[in-house]
Amino acid sequence: MIRRIAPLLLLLLGTGLAAGPASAEVLGGAPAPMTPERLEIGMNTNEIAITPDFAGADLAIFGTIVNADELLNSIGQYDIVVTLEGPKDFTTVRRKERVFGIWMNRHSVTFKEAPASYSMSSTRKIEGEPGVPPLEAPGIGIDHIDLTPTDFLRGGAFLEEFRSALRRLKRESGLYVPDPGGVRFISSTLFQANIKLPANIPNGTHMVRAALFKSGKFVMEKTLPLRVTKTGLEQQITDAAHKQPVLYGLFSVFLALITGWGASLIFRRD
């Protein structure tokens, strides 16, 4: 610990204080070389097997702020936001309208690369609260997920309505989960983030992103991949249906033929 703090002290005496605010301009990406604080994170697993009776769980991510300024730390100037972003895919939002008395889909907007799920956990609300300024967190948080339509013209003036509808529907289905207060400090610099995995968490490679903020300004972030694989018979069926669709279809028909034929044998009345 002392070895880690020592360079910080040196930096603080030198150019460290000046470099801090400047590096806040860096949006995401690699840590700025001049920034003294660093973030280190780890997980107990990088692969999660979801069983059929899975009803949601917590994923624990541990991390530490290296080279933390003890003065700032003691007055709670460091904030951590940890997000778990699901695999991205095109997502279409459709809106119904009444046409001749019948409700039908009239308008749609397709967004590129909307994450299938998005769980987040933070030391506080990133939008800020009365008396607490919001975190300057580009691209972090449910309201900041990058939702770019495939075709800007089609959404028109309603684009924002479709964006918020997507976020709302995802929240309602439990796939976008905010948890302000899910990150807690175990010691002054060691923290634990609990990320809620929804019961309907999608398959695929998810991305854990941990972002460090100093006095509300973004400092740096670290990412780790998390593979989510569903197991069990149900998943094997889903896999078969998508990877061997013709065989799967033939099997379904075969099962129906056997069932129908079997019934006519069992219930034959002569």
Partner 1 sequence: MTIYLPIAELSVNIFVILGMGAAVGFLSGMFGVGGGFLITPLLIFYNVPPVVAVATGANQVVASSVSGAITHFRRGTLDVKLGSILLIGGLAGATVGIWIFSLLRRLGQLDLVISLLYVVFLGFVGGLMLIESVNAIRKSRKGVQPVKAPGQHPWVHRLPFKMRFKKSKIYLSVIPVIGIGFGIGVLTSVMGVGGGFIMVPAMIYLLRVPTNVVVGTSLFQIIFTTAYTTVVQAATNYSVDVVLAFILMAAGVVGAQYGVRVGQKLRGEQLRALLALLVLAVGIRLFLQLVITPTDIYSLAIGGGNG
- The β-bridge partners of 207 are 85, 225
Return the residue of 102, 130, 131, 157 that touches partner 1, per CB under 8 A.
Answer: 102
Q: To the nearest whole angstrom, how small is the minimum distance from the Cβ of residue 170 to partner 1?
A: 7
Return the residue of 105, 148, 223, 231 that touches partner 1, per CB under 8 A.
Answer: 105
Q: CA 188, CA 20: separation in Å to the nearest integer?
A: 20
Q: Is 237 in the site for partner 1 (CB under 8 A)?
A: yes
Residue placing its CB nearer to partner 1 in the complex, 34 or 90: 90
Residue placing its CB nearer to partner 1 in the complex, 30 or 246: 246
Question: What is the Cα gyration radius of the chain?
Answer: 25
Q: If we measure between CA atoms, which residue out of 205, 197, 203, 200 comes closest to residue 243?
A: 203
Residue 192's alpha-carbon distances to 123, 178, 195, 218, in angstroms, are 10, 16, 10, 19
Q: CA 258, CA 199: separation in Å to the nearest integer?
A: 35
Q: If we measure between CA atoms, which residue out of 53, 85, 87, 58 comes closest to residue 235?
A: 53
Residue placing its CB nearer to partner 1 in the complex, 56 or 133: 56
Residue placing its CB nearer to partner 1 in the complex, 73 or 235: 235
Q: Is 97 in the site for partner 1 (CB under 8 A)?
A: yes
x/- binding map, residues 161-200, to partner 1, per CB under 8 A? -x--xx-xxx-----------------------------x
Q: For residue 45, give the H/E element and its range.
A: none
- Exposure of 89 in the CB half-sphere (CA atoms within 13 A): 12
x/- binding map, residues 41-80, to partner 1, per CB under 8 A? -----------x----------------------------
Q: To the nearest whole angstrom, how small is the minimum distance from the Cβ of residue 121 to partner 1?
A: 24
First-residue to last-residue Cα distance in the chain:
87
Return the residue of 26, 204, 224, 248 that touches partner 1, per CB under 8 A.
Answer: 248
Q: Is 238 in the site for partner 1 (CB under 8 A)?
A: yes
Q: Tokens 């998508």 correspond to what residue?
A: 242
The alpha helices in the chain, defined as continuous H runs, are 2-13, 16-23, 70-74, 152-155, 159-172, 233-243, 245-266
Residue placing its CB nearer to partner 1 in the complex, 45 or 236: 236
Q: Is 256 in the site for partner 1 (CB under 8 A)?
A: yes
Binding site for partner 1 (CB under 8 A): 52, 89-98, 101-105, 108, 110, 116, 150, 162, 165-166, 168-170, 200, 234-235, 237-238, 241-242, 245-246, 248-253, 255-257, 259-264, 267
